[in-house]
Structure 1
Amino acid sequence: MTLPPAAPGIPVLGNALRMMGDVQQFFVDTYREMGPVYRVKALNQAFVIMAGERANRFLLERGDEVFSSEESFGGLNREFGMRVHVLRGRPHRHLRKVLATGLSRDLLAARWDEVVAETTRTFDSWAQRRELPVVDGFQRLAAAQLSVALTGASSAARFETLRWAFELVLDVTIAGKWPPLVLQRPAYKRARAEILAFARDALAERAAHPTGCTPDLLDRALAAVDENGDPYPLDVRAGMALQGYFAGINTLAYLYSFMLHALLANPGVRQRVTAEAGSEPLTFDRLRHMPALHGLVLETLRVYPPAPGSARTVTRAFDFEGFRVEEGRRVLVATSVPHQLPEHFPDPARFDIDRDFAAARKASVYAPFSVGSHTCLGAGMTEVLAVATMALLVQRLTVTAARPGRPLRVTATPGPNPGKRFRVRAEGRPLSTPSRHSR
């Protein structure tokens, strides 16, 4: 068996420039040119890319057998105690189950009033600004939403520190944008110590003063035991708390940003979701009856997936599509490539909120959050929050592009996002009903 073919690149940089931009489009284009498995280079990094329906099925069926996530995600564990990203087998399944109980839709429903109030306060403040950098605004909103929903307290005072340190770790350990030596700098070490102290203090405060309400992520972390019934170490408990305070904000913020872009680019879709949101108070139960908004979320995830590839390291050599992938190779399974293939999604270039995603989900060709045992734990809550956030946005704001006609420029790090150039202007809309947010 031979090695996979190498994708054409330029000297020294290899494929880095194309992968630093719209990496999803790069995967799709190169799949069409090279087939379902090929090699790429990006500066000092080399990957085997696996793409297409059969690659997704391989990750789903054999991923735990031949792959490890330690090299790609070990930094999150070493720096912030997020052990779930590197475990395998029974310990991994157990910790995922523990975390899932603290990232549930039921918890979101229990804290619905607080989440809606936080979101509407944010949108009302946007109406007072001349111009808004979209990604930054949505990052701050997502951090507030998640911390209120999952822990009951805002992390806004530490937002800048959390964002900077967490994104730096991702850029060093996953994207390879910076050398590991960067994490030895005093500024980062101080930020890391502050973040870990913040998580530990939150756990200690909750242990001393239980709320007696629906158990949230802090309660679950305090009570958690491992697969053998032994309490998790404090660093793992702190990592569990940080999953709620920060780990998911970029996924949410980038999704919100791309959804807003889709609304601006598709006036017919915007008209439908605005009519569907109406002016009535947005209760949790109403979210189930908003097909246009659900379609907007799912179609945005198809076109702009938050996790277009799943990075792994090969622990046992295997054959795929006639080529040998050797032990020790870094592999990136481009799970969202089928999103742009007409055999799975007819006329894939058309933004269509009426697509039927049920069969595609079942076949694992619709995979915005990857497939297999490391699928995003917060995927369900992400979709619900996205529906709610866009409904509240169109209820309270009229948004226009700050630079009409400027094309969207997608950047790949620390995850696919519209970048700092995406800015809007927002004006408040009059509300015809009192603001009541009961479930």
Structure 2
Amino acid sequence: MELFLLFLFFLLMVFFCFFLYSFPLSFKLKEPISKLQLPPGKTGWPIVGETLEFAAMGRNGTPEKFFKDRMSKYSQEVFKTSLLCEQIAVFCGPAANKFVFSNENKLVALSWPSSAKKIFPSSNSSTKLRAVALTLLKPDNLHKYVAIVDSIAKSHLETQWNFQKEVNVLSLVRQFDFTAACRLFLSINDPHQIEDCAKPFEVMAAGIFTLPINLPGSSYNRGIKAANSVRQKLLGIIKQRKGEVMDKQLVHDEDLLSLFLTKPDENGKFMSEPEIADHLLAALLASQDSTTASITFTMKYLAEFPDIYDEVLKEQRSIAQEKIPGEPLNWKDLQKMRYAWNVVSEVLRLVPPVQGNFREVLTDFTYSTFFIPKGWKIYWTPNSTHKNPQYFSDPEKFDPSRFEGSGPMPHTFVPFGGGSRICPGKDFARVVILVFMYNVIGKFRWEKLLPDEKTVVLPIPLPAKGLPVVLHPH
């Protein structure tokens, strides 16, 4: 259906866009193109550019091939392309990563594709979200969250995993992650209310990085409708919490929603309810997709490498032996999970949950002799270094020992980005991942039901069938 809609869209638009496509920069640049050396590369088909090829490699589970092929073809670590209807310069390699991370709000600024704006109207206004997130995720709160997430994980495993012979890991981990995010961001505990938000949320997430074809039946159209549905549910929660704040009833001072309602910006202005809803959508999306993928693929690799599983189990049991029966995990326990985090780091290297991010060029600049015009988008990706043998020997091998000692060289391992825009939730993700792994490893071994299950990246990496496994309780 979607391919048919896309074909019709081409027929309608290709004639009108051909002239603009042929001269995409002639109206933007102050100098003739002949005097400027743009990065090498193609911009592909009118409108869609190289998006279809990029998506096809993701569906094949090899998103890094898109970048590797072009880096090899042009012998450069910067090239141009067109993705999601955007003119883009792709920056690859550690030097390029460092350049992008160190020039935030100088030459470039965080940006989403314009296609995302219909789903997240406030997608580019992330300063407030980042500031509040940093307040929420300060060390004292993170320490407190360990016990809360531990309680959520234990309850989830008790109700959803115990007494099951087979489970779909992706589905259940997604449920756990969304429950934890709703509890910590919104102080929602009602499972029915959580489930009511979770269903349209998945549809919304699937539509964000698809072609912006807003026709009935397309993923993009379904994503917009689902986002509106989740937004309305959030607005109801926001209004109720706002009333509690005004009536000085019990307020959850340290959840994300209460911080949005009670913390004005530097000019003393409070966010509107629709702005809060958009920012909550973004926070829920960021917290869920990355941790869901990380936990799911950690379980995949532990099933494939029983010797590594045994080492993690040994570490976890040594921590458990020091605790009083029934005592929840705490921050100090997580610091002892060094080998477990090396395992997770190797998963993040091989299957980075965030495939990259966009920046908007704020002013013309030159990088590596190439002219990068104002208004273009820059795209950086961990896929340009994570599987590059120049930085990681035998890069396809699963080897947690890479992260012992000083670990990888700077700007080569970037699952959370870097610089001033490094993901503010990286430490929160670590808490959620390690706490869940501690609990599930303490209860079960597991084996894959589909030994050759394919990985797809749409846009986050996922096992094609959700990683069905057989559980073996200890």
TM-score tier (shorter): 0.7 to 0.9
Which deviations, in whole Å up to 9, do the C-alpha atoms of 1:103-141 show, x marking residues without a partner? 345324324444222212222322333432222211100
Partner of 1:141: 176
Q: What residue is the counterpart of 2:4 in the other structure? A: none
TM-score by length of 1: 0.82
Q: Distance in 2 between matches of 1:178 and 1:356?
A: 40
Task: Map 1:340-379; keep pairs closer than 5 Å.
Answer: 340-356=387-403, 363-379=410-426
Q: Where does residue 152 of structure 1 map in the other structure?
A: 187
Q: Provide the rounded CA distance (Å) in 2 between the counterparts of 1:189 and 1:328.
A: 29
Displacement, 1:270?
0.4
Q: Determine if contact 2:386/2:413 at 8 Å carries over to the other structure.
A: yes
Partner residue in 2 for 1:436: none
Give me the whole-angstrom Cα distance separating, in 2, the residues matched to 1:27 and 1:256. 26
Is residue 293–residue 462 contact of structure 2 (8 Å, CA) maintained in 1? yes
- Structure 2 portions without partners, runs of 5+: 1-35, 216-220
1:393 matched to 2:440:
yes
Aligned to 2:161: 126
Gap change, CA 1:53 and 1:147, over 3 Å in 2 = same
Alpha-carbon distance in 1 for matches of 2:93, 2:150: 39
8 Å CA contact retained: 1:73, 1:86: no
Contact 1:221/1:241, CA 8 A, preserved across alignment: no
Quick check: 2:382–2:414 contact (8 Å CA) kept in 1? yes
Equivalent in the alignment of 1:117:
151
Verify the 8 A CA contact 1:336 1:368 in the aligned structure 2.
Answer: no
Q: 1:48 to 1:213 in 2, by over 3 A?
A: closer
Root-mean-square deviation (CA), in Å? 3.4
Could you say which residue in structure 2 is the equivalent of 1:406? 452
Report matched runs for 1:195-206 at 5 Å: 195-205=234-244
The correspondence of residues 15-34 of structure 1 with structure 2, limited to 5 A, is 15-22=54-61, 24-27=63-66, 29-30=68-69, 31-34=71-74
Match 1:248 to one of 284, 287, 304: 287
Question: With structure 2 as the length reference, what TM-score do the two structures score?
Answer: 0.77
Deviates more, 1:124-133 or 1:66-75: 66-75
Contact 1:142-1:252 within 8 A present in 2 as well: yes
Query: What does the per-residue CA deviation read over 1:269-315, in whole Å, with 9 as the maximum and x for residues that have no partner?
Result: 10100111115455212111121112112221122112231123333
Taking the aligned partners of 1:185 and 1:346, their CA distance within structure 2 comes to 43
Matches within 5 A, 1:303-318: 303-318=350-365
**3-state SS in 2 of match to 1:340:** coil
Cα distance change of structure 1 residues 317 and 160 upon mapping to structure 2, 3 Å threshold? farther
- How many matched pairs? 419
Shift of 1:178: 4.4
What per-residue deviation string (whole Å, max 9, x for no partner) do you get for residues 73-92 of structure 1?
Answer: 7846x6557x5x5248xxx2
SS at match of 2:154: helix
- SS of equivalent residue, structure 1 residue 39: strand
Give the distance between the partners of 1:286 and 1:187, measured in 2 at CA. Answer: 39
2:183 is paired with a residue of what secondary structure? helix
Rounded to whole Å, the distance in 1 between the matches of 2:251 and 2:227 is 36
Is 1:36–1:52's contact at 8 Å kept on the other side of the alignment? yes
Match of 2:108 in 1: 67
In the other structure, the counterpart of 1:416 is 461
Shift of 1:169: 4.4
* Cα distance, 1:332 vs structure 2: 1.3
Higher gyration radius (CA): 2
- Cα distance change, pair 240–203 in 1 and its aligned pair in 2 (3 A): farther
What percent of counterpart residues are identical? 20
1:292-331 alignment runs, 5 A limit: 292-331=339-378
Deviation of 1:361 (Å):
7.5
* Deviation string, structure 1 residues 246-270 (Cα, Å, up to 9, x no partner): 5411111011011111111222210
What is the rounded CA distance, in whole Å, between the counterparts of 1:95 and 1:149 in structure 2?
A: 15
Query: 2:180 and 2:397 mapped to 1: Cα distance?
Result: 31
1:87 to 1:212, Cα distance in 2 relative to 1, 3 A: closer
Residue 100 in structure 1 maps to residue 140 in structure 2: no
Q: Matches of residues 46-61 of structure 1 in structure 2 within 5 Å?
A: 47-61=88-102
* Runs (5+) with no aligned partner, structure 1: 430-439
More off after superposition, 197-206 vs 373-382: 197-206
CA distance in 1, matches of 2:115, 2:266: 20
